[in-house]
Chain A
Amino acid sequence: MAIVFQKPKSLTDVPLHYCPGCTHGIIHRLVAEAVDGLDMQAKTVGVAPVGCAVFAYNYFNCDMVEAPHGRAPAVATGVKRVCPQNLVFTYQGDGDLAAIGTAEIVHAASRGENITVIFVNNAIYGMTGGQMAPTSLPNQVTQTSPYGRDVKTAGYPIRVCEMLSTLTGTAYAERVSVDNVPNIRKTAKAIRKAFEIQKAGLGFSIVEVLSTCPTNWGLSPVESLDWLRDNMTPYYPLGVYKDTTNEGGAA
């Protein structure tokens, strides 16, 4: 009998610890499928963040390094400079990448570091219980913005793809979402493309994935997908922000 569907080789066979309805599981699978699709499992080194995906080293079935909070791009730089032939990726959340790790992500991009960043943006700190993130939306209620994010005192959410696409070293920046099947398919393509860009040695690539956090948003999984579409997508428009393989294709 022909196998038509199975778990990617680049995922281990252990239960994920993520909350019900969280989209990390989908994104993990898409990253693993992309690694499998390029037949790079034995040559891939992933760098796990601090945050909800901190245990990513248990799930991606390849060599993994667990980085300090926000430092994944620096750790990945060290790995890549030693092993330029390897496929090196970081998997980071919004607090990790856009708050404590802002210097590391900006400079990895500006160096044109030949790594791929999978940036999971769910507009909240999940692991620590729902605090305001650098990507939390204006007026968004969180544990540390209990009256809603007041932009007068807490500032404005950071649009990472837009910011990084201004840097010459960034070869590819795309924002995608996993809120429905067509968008999941687009996400799969974007991750595959980012890895191909790294394999071709073209420089820094980032795929920002809009993701949900039903637990800390206080919504059901289905309501969360609606909230993402209604609130996040308008502030964080989907699309390709930079693609140096397609000159003139910058958004």
Chain B
Amino acid sequence: MSQRVLMKGNEALAEAAVRAGCRHFFGYPITPQTELAAYMAKRLPKIGGCFLQAESEIAAINMVLGASAAGARVMTSSSSPGISLKTEGISYIAGSDLPALIINIQRGGPGLGGIQPSQADYWQATKAPGHGDLHILVFAPNSVQEMVDTVASAFALADEYRMPAMILADGMLGQMMEPVVLPEEGNVTLPEKPWATNGHAGEVRNIANSLYIEAAELERLVKARFERYAEIEEKHSRHETYGLEDAEIVVTAYGATARVAKAAVRDARAKGIKAGLLRPVTLWPFPKKAFEDAAKSAKAFLCVEMSMGQMVDDVRLAVQCKRPVEFYGRTGGIIPTPAEVLAEIEKLAGGAE
């Protein structure tokens, strides 16, 4: 049994990746993901791995592309402005059907924005993580423990479907310290990668490529990829609920904000308001069915985010106008308080009576 240890989110993510068999990390310094790369710089050389500080986020993601093509379990981490630079490479990695793990410890934007926690990259992660028709897997853990638990499954799903996976966290989760149980070291069996460009000759040679000059061929390949996406939406969407069974007000939030929302739901319950929490754990695939189901009995939804309202679009699409969907958010690095969220719940509950 692994020991329970106190760890910072960023460092726990790094150690979890090492224990998931990741031996290659390419990155570029940026706040507030700094400790993740620093941890890898210390840890990987001691275990025969490769830590490389690239000249830019662009170079780092392309090193990830090369290492992934060569068959390695590989990752990079960054924060919002850096992720913008990585989107080129993410598109090529997706178009070349390569797996990789990208961690975004979100900070405020747009532009250089700020360095405080934010969730303003939801649209980027779930709608346009790069140019072209593509999706990437997006996980939104809400604690240091869940971040640790997500790493191995993100790598595994990325390998299974040969596509990029992202852990969309934020400066709060990255910087906070919490007790965490890490997975045991060793005993990681990495999948065979017969497609890897690591040296073959003649008939069996491998090519990692995203260029298809014949329109019909490109359409066929993109459609085949979307069939895999449909399977993922069917099989791998995840969510968590709290007090949802008899909830009239369904509060929804992801990541660190979901913990604030949960506290507000608990406070609302104490005041006799039938509130519940629906927390998407995967943002792509979005747990549409859970929202459809909740819409059958709930009176109203309240989406809470550290942004001006991005996930709320997907909530509205999933609820299909069957119930009102309200929004409460703080942005620029401000974390909403349980009291603020409770006030919004009370407004909705009052309005519904």
Which residue of A has the minimal Cβ distance to B88? A68
Q: Contact mask B37-73 → A, CB, 8 Å, 1/0? A: 0000000000000101011101110111111111110
Verify if A54 is at the interface (C-beta below 8 Å from B).
yes
- Residues on B with C-beta less than 8 A from A41 are 201-202
Q: Which A residues are in CB contact (< 8 Å) with B88?
A: 68
With CB as the reference atom, state the residue of chain B lying closest to A69.
B88
B198: chain A residues at CB < 8 Å are 45, 63, 79, 82-83, 86
The CA of A205 and the CA of B202, in the complex, are separated in Å by 26
- Whole-angstrom CA separation of A87 from B329 in the bound complex: 53
A104 close to B (CB within 8 Å): yes
Assembly CA distance A54 to B59 (angstroms): 19
Q: Which of A43, A62, A75, A103 contacts B65 (CB 8 A)?
A: A75
Interface contact A79-B197, CB-CB below 8 Å: yes
In the assembled complex, the Cα of A47 lies from the Cα of B68 at a distance in Å of: 14
A81 to B62 Cα, complex, angstroms? 13
Given A63, A75, A77, A107, which contacts B207 in the complex, CB threshold below 8 Å? A63
Q: Is A240 an interface residue (CB 8 A)?
A: no
**0/1 interface trace, chain B 210-247, chain A, CB 8 Å (1 if under):** 11000000000000000000000000000000000000
CA–CA, A62 and B327, complex, Å: 54
Using Cβ atoms and an 8 Å threshold, which residues of chain B touch A43?
A: 199
Shortest CB-to-CB span from B250 to chain A, Å, is 42
A78 to B98 Cα, complex, angstroms: 13
- What DSSP secondary structure best describes chain B's contact surface? mixed
Question: A71: CB under 8 A from chain B?
Answer: yes
Q: Across the interface, do B197 and A64 meet the contact criterion of CB distance under 8 Å?
A: yes
Chain A interface size, as a band, is 35 or more
Assembled-state Cα–Cα distance A71/B90 (Å): 13
**In the bound complex, how far is the Cα of B70 from the Cα of A63, in angstroms?**
9
In the complex where A54-B211, A71-B58 touch, is A65 in contact with B205 (Cβ < 8 A)? no
Q: How far is the CA of A159 from the CA of B224 in the complex (A)?
A: 45
* Complex contacts, A80 vs chain B, CB 8 Å: 66
Q: How far is the CA of A185 from the CA of B56 in the complex (A)?
A: 38
Taking a contact as CB atoms under 8 Å apart, the answer to whether B206 and A63 are in contact is yes
Tell me which of B68, B199, B202, B209 contacts A78 (CB under 8 A).
Answer: B68
Question: What's the minimum C-beta distance from B59 to chain A, rounded to whole angstroms?
Answer: 4
Q: Tell me which residues across on chain B come within 8 A of A79, comparing CB atoms.
A: 66-67, 69-70, 197-198
Complex Cα distance, B26 from A26, in Å, reads: 36
CB distance from A87 to the nearest CB of B (A): 9
Is there an interface contact between A75 and B69, defined as CB atoms closer than 8 Å? yes
CB distance from A65 to the nearest CB of B (A): 4
Least CB distance from A80 to B in Å reads: 8
Are A78 and B63 interface neighbours, CB within 8 A? yes
A163 near B: Cβ within 8 Å?
no
A189 CA / B177 CA spacing, docked (Å): 58
Q: Is the CB of B197 within 8 A of A63?
A: yes
Residues of A close to B4: CB separation below 8 A: none
Contact A81 B59 (CB under 8 A): no
Which residues of chain A (223-249) have a CB below 8 Å from chain B? none
User: Is the Cβ of B62 less than 8 Å from the Cβ of A66?
Assistant: no
Asked if A213 CB lies within 8 Å of chain B CBs, one says no
Give the distance in Å from the alpha carbon of A77 to the alpha carbon of B63 in the complex. 6
Nearest CB on B from A85, distance (A): 8
Determine if A67 is an interface residue (Cβ-Cβ < 8 Å).
Answer: yes
Chain A residues whose C-beta falls within 8 Å of the C-beta of B24 in the assembled complex: 78, 81-82
Give B85-114 as 1s and 0s: 1 = Cβ < 8 Å from A's Cβ atoms. 000110010001000000000000000000
For the complex formed, measure the closest distance between the CB of A156 and the CB atoms of chain B, giving whole angstroms: 23
- From residue 39 to 57 of chain A, which have CB atoms closer than 8 A to chain B? 41-45, 47-48, 54-55, 57
A76 at the interface (CB under 8 A from B): yes
Decide if B208 is an interface residue (CB 8 Å cutoff). yes
A61/B63 in contact, CB under 8 A = no
Q: How far is the CB of B169 from chain A (nearest CB, A)?
A: 24
Name the 9 nearest CB pairs between A and B, nearest first. A78-B66, A74-B62, A78-B67, A42-B201, A75-B66, A107-B55, A82-B70, A63-B197, A78-B63
